[in-house]
Amino acid sequence: MTKPARILTIAGSDSGGGAGIQADIKTITMLGGHAMTAITAITAQNSRGVDAVQVLSADMVIAQIDAVARDFGLDAIKIGMLGSPQIAEALADWLSSLPRTRQSHFGAEAQQERDSRVRGNDGVPVIFDPVMIASSGAVLADPATICAFKRLMACASLVTPNLPELEALGGEDAVLELAPALLIKGGHAGGETVTDRLITRDGEAARWDDPRIESPHSHGTGCTLSSAIATLLGQGVPMEQAVERARLFIRLALRDAPALVESNGPMGHQSVRNDAISSGWHLNQIALGATDYAASVTFYRTLGLTQIVDSPGNGYARFEADNGATLSIHVGAAAGGAMAYLECADLDARVSALASEGFAFDQMPQDESWGWREARLCDPAGNIICLYFGGENRRYPPWRIATD
């Protein structure tokens, strides 16, 4: 059994469960990592605001870090709200004093490959989310703490500020003088499209443009994104792919927000399941032939599945199970037959590797009109297997029908 990546999150506690340590633990767990924590501050807060904050001592924060690091070991570190300049300085001291070698769950060859992709003390990826201005506009760090952030940026593999925080840090050039990579998050820019940019000292490494998801429940997006990136880097995913998959996690969690309160509520971390974000194959979709569209739709709806696509003109419907897996019916396909779908985030690389091993593909990866990228082959018994990446479009295609 493969052991999970060990992810340490250093952040404040959100008693409402939407951000901070609580969001980090949910994210790391849903992505298959093992979450460890060093709490910097305790807050009494809900969707309406923060009622009280108690910052822990720097000694206690470092004691938490030391306790887990010397016993469990670390594969990645996420840094969020720190609460005081003393904690920031003590953490910078701790990161700067790390030895250059470490114990890892991964083999020596894989470890060497991972360490060549990211920079960080001790070979451990360090993701620094410089929490100082919340999405609501609340100031969460004083000038002394912000000043201490410079030392932490010099220890980081990636810095992930929102736009107001980037401005407070002195802008893109100021950050890249200290850190090797910067993710500029465009959520605060407004408009119908959200643009995020991954910048290194060599220039723009990647850019993502996606339609904005309008939701009153986006509390904890920054915490969730940075902890998702840390988890994926800790699992050995390259930086650009880690950011891309972490963004997908955020988008699905936004779409799955449970609306527990009127506004400023938590996202739906618990609903991001069976999606190809973490590494490996995800058996999450099956297609079945049908002869009577209406009868099949009635059958699966009565069975308790949620219909998410209704296209009677094409004889096609898709349903979602409670665990996030999907099932589709298609009139005209071989009745009684089935096609199994295995999703992975690195489809082209996996298909290329399989082809080099002698697997015969009936269809190499290609983009389909329904928003998936697919490759197809048959198993030894002749069953059709679709290897694909659907991402957000599997459960939330543009034509998803409204559900309660």
Rounded Cα distance between 105 and 113, Å, is: 14
User: Do 60 and 264 meet the contact criterion of CB atoms below 8 Å apart?
Assistant: no
Both structure tokens of 397: 């295609």
Q: What are the pLDDT digits (tens) for 153-184?
A: 999 999 999 998 999 899 999 999 999 999 99
Answer yes or no: same fold for 6-271 and 282-395.
no
Residue with tokens 């910048």: 199
Domain ranges of the chain: 6-271, 282-395
Please check the confidence at residue 24 and state whether its pLDDT lies above 90.
yes
Q: Give the mean pLDDT of the chain.
A: 90
pLDDT score, position 123: 82
| 215-229 mean pLDDT | 95
pLDDT given for residue 134 in this prediction: 54
Query: Whole-prediction pTM value?
Result: 0.91
What percent of the chain clears pLDDT 90, i.e. is strictly above it?
81
pLDDT of residue 334: 66
CATH class of 6-271: alpha beta
Count of C-beta atoms within a 10 Å radius of residue 136: 11
Closest Cα to residue 157, out of 247, 89, 234, 250? 234
Q: Check residue 93 and give its pLDDT.
A: 95
Q: Residue 135: pLDDT above 70?
A: no
Q: How far is CA 130 from the centre of its chain?
A: 18
The pLDDT value recorded for residue 121 is 42
Distances (CA, A) of 269 to 161, 241, 249, 251: 21, 20, 8, 10
- Residue 146 binned pLDDT confidence (cut-offs 50, 70, 90): confident
pLDDT (0 to 100) of residue 210: 94
In the chain, % helix, strand, coil (3-state, to 5) comes to 35, 30, 35
State the pLDDT at residue 103.
38
Domain 282-395: which topology? 2,3-Dihydroxybiphenyl 1,2-Dioxygenase; domain 1 (3.10.180)
Task: List, for residues 76-127, the tens digit of each pLDDT value.
Answer: 999 999 989 999 999 999 999 875 434 333 333 434 443 433 334 448 999 9
Res 141 pLDDT > 80: no
